[in-house]
Chains A and B, each alone.
Chain A
């Protein structure tokens, strides 16, 4: 059994990195935050052409039916470039949910669901979801063509209330009201969708953490104080090394969670939660250290660092708090599973 990413997976990550670097995502994110989403939506569409939006959609519905590890790679790269939008929702949770609801029969039990899956894969549809109380708000519901709300075992089409401002500029959070019932007796499907959302969010955070470390390291080499680059002082470099260690320890847990989800979505709770805890902690450490290393410039909205700092603040608590995920790991360990 091989525990490293395949050459093709590394190539996929590299291709996405090149594409996002060329697209100048920080500028796109700033326009997005200012209410101009044209470039952001065009980028979303071209990412869909690269396959990003089709990873979690089964091949039956024009998707790629990719391995969860491929989804991790994509979401990490999106976080690495601070790509705005409901990433964990639209790329992971909703397609996973709809794929289970659509079933394996041909034609689909619900042709409408099959249609949404096809649109999601093509990048023509952006979707979001709320699952109170764990996921109380639907992110970016204003720009989503499909808004869902899930309960313990039901899924409804939802109408978003007014968007509340998030700490991340351009991101909105909506309390949603359930309308038409889409499915009931769907507890397993909802649980699986949640796990995929957690996985994608954790990957996004790990990518953001990596970007924060890149920024801080670059700054530490350029900025001089007392005649030397500040990165040459132990007080700075040890902090940066600690961030790298935290990120490097998060990645294996993330990939292990992806493998666990592929093998047995129902039994992956422990691994998914462990990954979320480690990646969120690592990203938060990266954010704190990057802010400190940058000094006062890091506090300014004009510096791109702010895009990742606020992304980590916003996505960190989504998809279950650290306390909730730690409790789930504990319960799994104590239960002997």
Chain B
């Protein structure tokens, strides 16, 4: 089975993230770059599926040159090869443009199954799986907390507030995963050394037969017009317990719909 896992490098959630004043795009130099956390689960699921059903895992990533570090990590975890789409022209691409570029890569590489995290921790649009499925004309099975494959049939548990729905489809398909699905492995010494020799194909927009004018910030349908820094955390409310502390705590929880 030919599994493609989409991976994005994002600024570390734990560091101070900001946008660039010049064009309101993400300032990638301001924060440490790491692999999008949910993508680790996507990679793990891809590896588990190939361990069970055979085949290989290809990592596809779109991002600046620095993304090679995260691609290396994905290969150290056990993925077989990688495709890195890196082009200055892509800077500032929104979800629609990104999905168009990735769809081209996927058509070119061929796939039985595309797995991706249900969202990235920086943009958090969570729409890429749907856009890709539409562009590729294949079923989308999103927010999966479990994936089962039997021949060309695929079934997932779609995580919901009330439990899960079972969603079925046929391969080829696009699956987005949530963090409940598995526990990603850590790269082993062997994996890290083996990753050195694994092939990484680097592609430009032109290599994919896409007009550079059709991608990037200018070609994006969405635009960040304005943004503000997160306000500093407000001081908490101190409740003095005059015998009604329990009631006040309950009222607070009720106001936040916890009870």
A, B bound: yes
Verify if A50 is at the interface (C-beta below 8 Å from B).
yes
Which of B73, B187, B196 has the largest count of A CB atoms less than 10 A from its CB?
Answer: B187
Kindly identify, within residues 168 to 217 of chain B, every residue whose CB is under 8 Å from any CB belonging to chain A: 186-190, 192-193, 195-196
Chain B contacts for A70, CB-based, 8 A: 189
Q: Is B76 an interface residue (CB 8 A)?
A: yes
Q: Which of A11-19, A272-280, A282-290, A308-316 sits within the interface?
A: A11-19
For A64, the closest partner residue in chain B by CB is B189
Residues from 1 to 25 in A contacting B, C-beta threshold 8 Å: 7-8, 11-12, 15-16, 18-19
Q: A91 within 8 Å of B by Cβ?
A: no
Task: Report the Cα distance A18→B186, complex, angstroms.
Answer: 8
CA A70 to CA B193, docked complex, whole Å: 12
Q: Are B193 and A50 in contact (CB under 8 A)?
A: no
Q: Do B192 and A15 touch (CB < 8 A)?
A: yes
Known contacts being A8-B196, A11-B73, is A52 close to B189, with CB within 8 Å? yes
B8 interface residue per 8 A CB criterion: no
Instruction: Assess A50 versus B196: contact at CB under 8 Å? Given A11-B72, A11-B73, A15-B76.
Output: no
A47 to chain B, nearest CB (A): 10
Partner pick for B192 among A11, A19, A55, CB 8 A cutoff: A11
* A292 to B198 Cα, complex, angstroms: 50
Q: Taking the complex as formed, is A153 at the interface, i.e. its CB lies under 8 A from any CB of chain B?
A: no
Interface centre among B76, B192, B195 (most CB of A within 10 A): B192
Interface string of A62-94 (1 = CB under 8 A from B): 001010001000000000000000000000000
Q: Are A51 and B190 in contact (CB under 8 A)?
A: yes
> Are A66 and B189 in contact (CB-based, < 8 A)?
yes
Give the chain B neighbours of A19 by CB distance below 8 A: 186
**Nearest CB on A from B71, distance (A):** 12
Q: How far is the CA of A7 from the CA of B193 in the complex (A)?
A: 10
Whether A50 and B76, one on each chain, are in contact in the complex, defined by CB atoms closer than 8 angstroms, is no
Q: Give per-residue flags for B23-38: 1 if the beta carbon is below 8 A from chain A beta carbons, else 0.
A: 0000000000000000
For residue A52, which residues in chain B have a CB less than 8 angstroms away from its CB?
189
In the complex, what residues of B have CB within 8 A of residue A54's CB?
189
B186 and A50: CB pair below 8 A?
yes
Q: CB of A49 within 8 A of chain B?
A: yes
B56-74 vs A: 1/0 string, CB under 8 Å? 0000000000000000110
Output the least CB separation between A21 and chain B (Å): 11
In the assembled complex, the Cα of A12 lies from the Cα of B72 at a distance in Å of: 12
A49: B residues at CB distance < 8 A? 188
Chain B nearest Cβ from A199, distance in angstroms: 17
Q: Closest chain B residue to A73 by CB distance?
A: B189
Say yes or no: A8 contacts B186, CB within 8 Å.
no
Which chain A residue lies CB-closest to B73?
A11
A16 CB contacts on chain B under 8 angstroms: 186
* Complex contacts, B196 vs chain A, CB 8 Å: 8
Residues of A within 8 A of B193 (CB): 8
Contacts of B195 in A (CB 8 A): 8
Which residues of A have CB within 8 Å of B72?
7, 11
A12 to B188, CA, bound (A): 7
Closest to A66 in B: B189
**Contacting residues, chain A, for B189 (C-beta < 8 A):** 12, 50-52, 54-55, 64, 66, 70
What is the bound-complex CA distance between A66 and B189, given in angstroms? 9
Give min CB distance, B39 to chain A, whole Å.
15
Cα of A64 to Cα of B193 in the assembled complex, Å: 10
CB-based nearest B residue for A55 = B189
Question: How far is A18 from B215 in the complex, measured between Cα atoms in Å?
Answer: 36
Q: Which residues of chain A are within 8 angstroms of B192 by Cβ–Cβ distance?
A: 8, 11-12, 15
| A269 to B16 alpha-carbon distance, docked (Å) | 47
Q: Is the CB of B73 within 8 A of A50?
A: no
Kindly provide the distance from the CB of B186 to the nearest chain A CB, expressed in whole angstroms. 4
Residue of A nearest to B193 (CB): A8
Closest B residue to A50 using CB positions: B188
CB-nearest residue of chain B to A54: B189
Q: How far is the CA of A298 from the CA of B186 in the complex (A)?
A: 33
Distance in angstroms from A249 CB to nearest chain B CB is 27
Within 192-231 of A, Cβ neighbours of B (below 8 Å) are at none
Within 8 A of A (CB), among B103-147: none
Contact B76–A64 (Cβ < 8 Å): no
Q: Is B186's CB under 8 angstroms from A15's CB?
A: yes
The 7 closest A-B pairs by CB, nearest first: A51-B189, A19-B186, A15-B187, A50-B188, A51-B188, A15-B186, A8-B192
- Chain A residues in contact with chain B, CB under 8 A? 7-8, 11-12, 15-16, 18-19, 49-52, 54-55, 64, 66, 70
- 6 A-B pairs with C-beta separation under 8 A: A8-B192, A15-B76, A18-B186, A19-B186, A50-B188, A51-B189
| B-to-A contact residues, CB < 8 Å | 72-73, 76, 186-190, 192-193, 195-196
